Structure 1
Amino acid sequence: MRTGEFSRTVWRRSGAKQFQTEREEVLFGLSPEERCAALKGTGEKDFLWTQASAFGNSAEIGYYAVLRAAGDLAARGAEPEALSVRMTLPPGGSESDVEELSAGIESACRQMKLQTACFQGEVSPAAGMPTVNVSAAGTVRSGGILRCGMMRPGQSILLCGYTGLEGTLRILDESEEELEERFVPAFLDQIRELRRELVLPDVILGAQKNGDSGISAVQQIGSGGILAALWDLTEASGTGMKVDMAEFSIRQETVELCEFYRLNPYLLTSAGSYLIAADDADRVTEVLEKAGARAGKLGVATADKAKVISGRDEIRYLDRPAPDEFMRWWAERTQQH
C-alpha cells in the first residue's frame, strides 16, 4: 500500500467493515473523516478522546503529537484535559532521548494546560526511529459536540492559520544541517519564529463559544494537508464547495522550503491550522484575529456535491485525498539512507 494514511477504499473495505460490535454509550460510529470518539456522560458533560502520533529524530516530535491530539479535541468543541503518552525508541535509544522527548511533551502540556496522566515507554526492535503516541481526553457540554459533518450549504469556509505550517517546522527540525547549506541563517530563524503562528486549542474553543458567529463545524488540517481537510469537511457534510486557492494563506518560507524539496504545500500536514464552517465569516475572523490568529474566508459550501477550486484562470475539482507530503519526504529520505 502507499505511504501515509490508508486510502478511503482500504479503510472501508478491509478495516471498518470488520468492526461490528456496538454499545449504546458510544455517541457516534466510525467515519474516515472523524478522528475523535465519544461516550455519553452521566451528568452535563460528554467524554471525548483521540489519538495522535509523531515520529522522527527531533526532540520536538512529542510537542507536535500533543498539538495534533489536543487540536482534534478542540475542533469537536471539547476542552482537552489529560494525556496518556507512550514513547517507543529504536535499539540504541538512550535515556537522554527519553528526557528530551518528555521535555517536548511537557512544553506542549504547559502551553495547552494539559496533564500527562499516564506515561509508558519501550525500546523496540520493530522501531526504525523514535515515535511518540498520545491519547488525549477531554469533556464537552452534553449535546455540544461539533461533528465534522455539520457544515451546511451556504455557510462560509474559513482557514484559521497557515497552509503547511506544521510540516514546514518539522522539516526544519529534521534537516537543519542540510538546510543550512542552502539557506542563510536569518531565513531559517524566520521559520523557527513561525511556531508562534500555530493556532492553539484555546483559540478555537474561544471562537466556538462566541454564539453569534454561527460556527457549525471545525476540522484541524492533518495528514494530506488542506486539500484532504477540505475533502473531509465536504464529504462528511454531504456538501460541495466553491473555494478560491488564492485565498489559501501560505507563508513564503513554506513555499521556498517546498520548492527546495519539491513538495506540494497543499498536501503538507498542518496541525495547528483549521478549517471552519460558519454563518458569519466576518465575525469569526474578527474573533480569531483578536485572539492573535490569522483567519480568512476561502469560499462557501454548496448544496451540490461538486468540490470546485478556482485559481488564476482555471477551475479544477478536488480529488480524493492524496498521501501526505511530509510522509513522502520521510519515505524518500529513508530510502536514500
Structure 2
Amino acid sequence: MKIGKIPNNTLKKIILDKITNKRCEVLIRPKIGEDCSALDFGEDACVLSCDPITGASNEVGRLAVHISCNDIASCGVEPIGLMVALLAPPEATEKELETIMRQLCETASSLNVDIIGGHTEITDSVNKFILITTAIGKGSKDKLIKTSDAKPGDDIIITKTAGIEGTAIISHDKEAELSEKLGKDLIESGKAFINNISVVKEGIIASKFGVNAMHDITEGGVLGAVWEIAEASGTGCIIEADKIPVADVTKIICDYYKIDPLKLISSGSMLITCSNGQALVEELANNGISSAIIGKITKDLTKYIVKDSQLIEIGQPETDELYKVVAL
C-alpha cells in the first residue's frame, strides 16, 4: 500500500463498513471526511478527535497539539484537554524527549488546553518519534458543526493560504538544502509558518457566525478537503483555482520540488461552507484572519475545479504531496 492516508474507497470498504456499534449516546459517528466524534453528555456534547504525527521529523510536539485541536475546532467547539501517546526509538535521547515535551506543553498552554494523560514508551517498532494525540472538547450538542452538513448553494471559504503545514514541515526538514538553493531568508519565512498551524480561532468565530460545515485541511490539501466535505455531505462542488490563495514561499518550494500546493497538507487552513460567504470573510478579517471565497457547493454530485479555463473533475484524495519530498 502507498504511504499516507488509506484511500477513501478502501477506508470505507475495509474499515468503516466493519463498524457496527450503534449506541444512542453517539452523536457524530465515523464517516469519510468527518473530523470528530461526539458523545451525548446531557445538554453538552463531548467532542473527540485522534491524530498521529508521522510525516514530520522536526517540531513534532507543536504539530501534534495543533492537529488534534484543529479537528475539535472544526466542530465549532473549543478544545479543553489533550491525551498524548509518545513512542520513541531505542536510540532516542533524553534531550530529544525533553524538547518534544517542551513543545507539547508550550503549545497546549498557548491554546489554553491541558495535557491530561497519555502513554510514553521506548520501542524498536519505530525508527523515529511517533506522537498520537487525542483532543477533547465540550460544547452544546445542539450547535455542533459537522463536515457532512454542507448545503447546495453554500459558498466555500478557505482561511489563510493553501499548503501551510506542508510549507512549514518541508522548510524545517529540508532547511540545509533549501537554504542553499533558494536562500536562507525565504526558508526562514517558510519555517515561520509553524506559527500559523492553529485554526481554533477561526473555528470558534465561524461557529458563532453560523455556518453549515467546516473541515480542517490536512493530508490531501485543499483539493482533498473539498472532495471530502462534498462527499460527506452528499453534494458536489465547483471551485476556482485562481481564487485559492497560495503564499509566495509555498509556490517557490512547490515549484522546486515539482509538487502541487493544492494537494499539500495544509493544517492552519479551515474549509468552511455557509450561505453568506462574503459576510463571513468580513467577520474573519475583523478578527485578523484572512480568507477567500473559492467556490460553491452544488446539487450535482460531481466535484470540479476550474483551472486555466478548463473544468476538471476532482478525484478522491491520493497520497499527500509531502511524502514525495520527505522520502528524498
1:131 CA drift (Å) = 1.2
Structure 2: stretches of 5+ with no match in the other structure:
none
Over the matched positions of the two proteins, sequence identity in percent amounts to: 24
Q: Residue 44 of structure 2 aligns to which amino acid in structure 1? A: K
Flag the 1:124–1:199 CA change in 2: closer, same or farther, 3 A.
Answer: closer
2:9 is matched with: 9
Q: How many corresponding residue pairs?
A: 328
Q: Aligned partners of 1:5, 1:195: CA distance in 2, in Å? A: 22
Q: Give the alignment of 1:58-77 within 5 angstroms.
A: 58-77=57-76
Tell me whether 1:19 sits opposite 2:9 in the alignment: no
Structure 1: stretches of 5+ with no match in the other structure:
none
1:9 CA drift (Å) = 2.1
Tell me whether 1:171 sits opposite 2:167 in the alignment: no
The answer to which of 260-269 and 93-102 deviates more is 260-269
Q: Aligned partners of 1:292, 1:58: CA distance in 2, in Å? A: 30
1:268 is matched with: 264
2:248 is matched with: 252
User: What whole-Å deviation, never above 9, does each CA across 1:85-139 have from its counterpart, x for those lacking one?
Assistant: 1111112001111110111112211221101011421111110211111100001
Tell me whether 1:151 sits opposite 2:147 in the alignment: no
Q: Aligned partners of 2:234, 2:24: CA distance in 1, in Å? A: 25
1:199 CA drift (Å) = 4.5
When normalised by structure 2's length, the TM-score is: 0.95
1:57 CA drift (Å) = 6.4
Contact 1:56 1:174 survives alignment (8 Å): no
Q: Aligned partners of 2:56, 2:15: CA distance in 1, in Å? A: 30
Q: Aligned partners of 2:189, 2:46: CA distance in 1, in Å? A: 39
Q: Aligned partners of 1:207, 1:239: CA distance in 2, in Å? A: 21
Q: Aligned partners of 1:297, 1:228: CA distance in 2, in Å? A: 17
Flag the 1:92–1:129 CA change in 2: closer, same or farther, 3 A.
Answer: same
Q: Aligned partners of 1:231, 1:165: CA distance in 2, in Å? A: 19
1:242 is matched with: 238
1:313 CA drift (Å) = 2.2
Q: Give the alignment of 1:119-138 within 5 angstroms.
A: 119-138=118-137
Q: Residue 320 of structure 1 aligns to which amino acid in structure 2? A: Q
Q: Aligned partners of 2:256, 2:282: CA distance in 1, in Å? A: 35
Contact 1:203 1:288 survives alignment (8 Å): yes
Q: Aligned partners of 1:147, 1:28: CA distance in 2, in Å? A: 8
Q: CA RMSD in A?
A: 1.5
Q: Give the alignment of 1:1-337 within 5 angstroms.
A: 1-42=1-42, 44-55=43-54, 58-210=57-209, 214-330=210-326, 332-333=327-328
1:205 CA drift (Å) = 0.4
Q: Residue 208 of structure 1 aligns to which amino acid in structure 2? A: S
The answer to which of 191-200 and 9-18 deviates more is 191-200
